[in-house]
Amino acid sequence: MPTLHPTVNPDVDARPATDPTGGAVTGLGSSLPPPAAPAVEAPAAARADWKAAAVAAVVAAVVAAGVSAPLAGLMVEQAERARPAATADAAPQNTAAAPATAAGATVVDVAEVAAAVSPSVARIDVTGNGGQGSGSGFVLRADGHILTNAHVVEGAEQIRVTLPDGESRPAELVGADAFSDLAVVRVTGATDLPVPSFATGTPRVGEVAVAIGSPFGLQGSVTAGVVSALNRSLPNPDAPLVDLIQTDAAINPGNSGGALVNSRGEVIGVNTAIISRGGANDGIGFAIPIASALPIAEQLVEKGFVEHAQLGIQGQNVDPTVAELYGLGVREGALVVAVAPDSAAAEAGLQRGDIITAIDGKPVTSMGELAGRIRSYAPGDAVSLDIVRGGEEQSLDVTLDSAPAARPQG
């Protein structure tokens, strides 16, 4: 994120990669001039000449906008099922006050939302061999643990966190996971930071969405819009982003790692990427759902790395057009194109041509959604897949494999 430092400009991590809209996937950073072509950017660390940040998810490839891509294995992470970040033995939590409302009422005043959550959102400045950069993060635990994007801290040799009160403190990298593009850092000496409220339900399309972070190094910036769509997938050379929340709230380089918040003052996502034709906000931003992020963050805090589960298939989306063209018998789901030998899918009897329509009773409408669901499980977990094979419905029990765990960084 471009800060006022002369060596940091607004497009540091931008690295193009084609996407169905004609955009490109890049790291929303703040240091290189905006790319000429449309770009999808991981709104994050502003680093002068660093290699493009890995905007990762937990699958080797997914289908986006109806264009199929191979899935080298639906890899997912979980520490514990999307529970609040605090644990019984964690440092005491100082939860940031949510906007005052009557029971069940919804706050529509963005100022109240900002006042409630902004004290929990910090700016993260990094220094490495390639230069300087900045991004955003928000409090995970009162004892100084801050959640951010992996591409914000990638390659960092020094990390400093500036809290909303203006105090800047050194921080250490606790762990980073390139597959999910999430990382946790810990602020030295912090004991009583305000933890925001985390949403427990699925956001609704059309509801208010407020982005809080440090775009271009401007700490404490607040923008507002709505949740534009759910279950979005974005292609990326390293690993695709899946199961994303789409929003039109302005997200720019430097917002990476910041909070996407609902009208009740609850964090619903970690701002991560944008689609842009000029390197800045075009009204299409993306966030990692907090329900997916919290289990990953827990593992990073506890172990410094994440253990991924994998199903072991390649596939593509089923939509009404494809279903009618091939007479599939269902209008949506995930079509299995290939099954990896000796994988969990192979062991369970999953076959090429099967259409996965639900996992543990919850509907699956796309490969991206399937990957997002798998992400909530851990290696060794047993899941039930509803499938359609040859026009007939059946159920398969699958025990998920363990994929190679990412090595701790730092």
Catalytic residue numbers read 151, 181, 256
Q: Structure tokens of 254?
A: 């430097």
Tokens 């593509």, residue located: 316
DSSP SS3 for 131: strand
Closest CA to 87 of 230, 221, 247, 195: 195
Count other Cβ atoms within 10 Å, centred on residue 81. Answer: 13
Q: How far apart (Å, rounded) are the C-alpha atoms in residues 188 and 145?
A: 9
Q: How far apart (Å, rounded) are the C-alpha atoms in residues 181 and 61?
A: 15
- Whether residue 28 contacts residue 10, with contact meaning beta carbons closer than 8 Å, is answered with no
Tokens 């900002």, residue located: 114
Tokens 């490969």, residue located: 367
H or E element that contains 4: none
How would you write 324-390 as a 3-class SS string? HHHCCCCCCEEEEEEECCCCHHHHHCCCCCCEEEEECCEECCCHHHHHHHHCCCCCCCEEEEEEEEC
Q: Which residues pair with 398 in a beta bridge?
A: 383
Q: Structure tokens of 240?
A: 């695709």
